[in-house]
Chains A and B, each alone.
Chain A
Amino acid sequence: MALYSEKVMDHFRNPRNVGVIEDADGVGEVGNAKCGDIMRMYLKNDGDVITDVKFETFGCGSAIASSSMATELIKGKPVAEAMQLTNKAVAEALDGLPAYKMHCSVLAEEAIQSALNDYYDKHPEKRLDKDAAAAQ
């Protein structure tokens, strides 16, 4: 059996949304070099919708694939919906990850949330929406 699913290998070999957004509305970074995984996410929003998202990742195959899939899952989605993204959803969309690689999907979820929180910090007026989303 191969180490990773075809889906993981596809997103690893051809990662979607790789790069940087220079005038990003939100930037998030999680992980550290000591552990061997760092993900950085950039968001561009139009109103309440995420119109563009890019990532940079230092890490293993599943870290790169998880970043790629996470960006796919939130691109074009409302901010409030993106906030609900779970690591499970990322892993499932990749047709599963080996148990010892699940932390990569957790990092992807945290990277997205970190970028969204940065967006909220920069746009405090949107906080109400965030609270409303949390209340739903």
Chain B
Amino acid sequence: MKIYADNAATTKMSPAAIEAMLRCMENEYGNPSSLYSLGQAAKETLEKARAEVAAVIGADPEEITFTSGGSEADNQALRSAAALGKRAGKTHIISTAFEHHAILHTLKALEAEGFTVTLLPVHENGLVRPEELEAAIRPETCLVTVMYANNEIGTVQPIPALGAICRAHGVPFHTDAVQATGHLPIDVGEQNIDMLSASAHKFHGPKGVGFLYARRGLRLTNLIEGGAQERGKRAGTENVPGVVAMAAALTESAAHMEENAAHMRALRDKLIAGLSEIPHAALNGDAENRLPGNVNFCFEGIEGESLLLLLDDRGICASSGSACTSGSLDPSHVLLAIGRKHDVAHGSLRLTIGETATAEEIDYLSSNVKEVVEYLRGFSPIWRDLVAGKKPFIL
């Protein structure tokens, strides 16, 4: 059996998105900036896609800026809010300890430029507490940025409550919604979101395209200078086929969101129940407030990379937050942020199922993970010591 269980890393493009992309490349290949009809047809296609994307999140088309993906959108959102803040003498930014690196590394760069950053704790359940955000806001706070849903442990943040606090204090609120867009209902008006980043390939669109929503009146700072595309805020000939495919994928996801989420939640909970039977294992992140397709566990006594390689041999694509898979010496900052010890953070496994997952696949995932964990524990010196009582179990 082949099971792709890494949908948080990327998703397979939907047939609707592929078809839209091909049609665009075939027929509307003109440059949207050209004045002849072929160019204007491409322009029309682009603007239609913008309206479709805007409609899904309750925004106006002119509040959508197309980007190369989530990272660019995150960078531009933070740079823009920082520039506005600096002009007003405000140089304090609030975020969380477990943001994506597109946020954390941009914040590091801003710190080097004189900004002060407060990272809110995310606690054992992987959730930000609204009252802690409120307490952290200062008169000089120019931005709050909190991810909609975490990419590793899938916890969904109390976005409407956080947005309301920001609104009450007059602080712009950005959310990195890369994992949530197309999977959870988003309404930027109701949820008091001033800026939002999204990436097409997380909801069955193509790679290399995403968008930034910025509330009207919120002046964006250019990351890329050049032509007047995207109202002068993002130079470069538009990725029309990519944008069109993204709009098709998002529209389709939005149309089936409720049924997809219900189907995935049921299978997710079945998988969580199955993996919970493994001794000395623990679910990472809140069991309720999490993405419909996200399952993330720590297994004591084993290391994640060897787990992934053996699952790959059994046809399972998954990911881990171990140091070896992150290419650094430390395990995932997300797992450390929710208080997991290094020892067990190395033994993490993320399975992110998609809309087409079946109960049969969940059974296959459960039984194979169980077997591989047991096999690796069989020759783990840590496991031997734990079982012999020489060291206390952490999980």
User: Is the CB of B161 closer than 8 A to any CB of chain A?
Assistant: no
Asked whether B379 lies within 8 Å of A18 as measured between CB atoms, the reply is: yes
Tell me the nearest residue of chain B to A36, going by C-beta. Answer: B346
B322 proximal to A (CB < 8 A)? yes
Please give, as numbers and ranges, the residues of chain B lying within 8 Å of A9 by CB-CB distance.
309
Taking A36-B322, A36-B324, A100-B327 as contacts, is the C-beta distance between A15 and B306 under 8 angstroms? no
Within 8 A of A (CB), among B314-340: 322-324, 327, 329, 331
User: Given A60-B306, A60-B322, do A34 and B343 touch, yes or no (CB 8 Å)?
Assistant: yes
Inter-chain residue pair count (beta carbon < 8 A): 63
Identify B346's interface contact among A12, A33, A64, CB under 8 A.
Answer: A33
Interface size on A, residues (CB 8 A): 26
Given A36-B322, A36-B346: A58 and B331 interface contact (C-beta under 8 Å): no
Check if A76 is an interface residue, CB within 8 A of chain B.
Answer: no
Is the CB–CB distance between B322 and A58 below 8 Å?
no
- The dominant DSSP class at the B interface is helix
Min CB–CB distance B57 → chain A (angstroms): 38
**Which residues 48-73 of A have a CB within 8 angstroms of B?**
55-61, 63-64
Given known contacts A34-B342, A36-B331, A61 and B380 CB-to-CB distance under 8 angstroms: no
Which residues of the partner chain A approach B327 to less than 8 Å between Cβ atoms? Answer: 100
Please report the C-alpha to C-alpha distance between residue A36 and residue B114 in the assembled complex, in whole angstroms.
Answer: 36
A–B pairs, 30, beta carbons within 8 Å: A12-B306, A12-B309, A13-B313, A20-B384, A29-B381, A33-B343, A34-B342, A34-B343, A35-B323, A35-B329, A36-B303, A36-B323, A36-B324, A37-B303, A38-B381, A38-B382, A39-B381, A40-B381, A56-B379, A56-B380, A56-B381, A56-B384, A57-B380, A58-B302, A59-B303, A59-B306, A60-B305, A61-B305, A61-B309, A100-B327
Residues of B within 8 A of A (CB): 301-306, 309-310, 313, 322-324, 327, 329, 331, 342-343, 346, 379-384
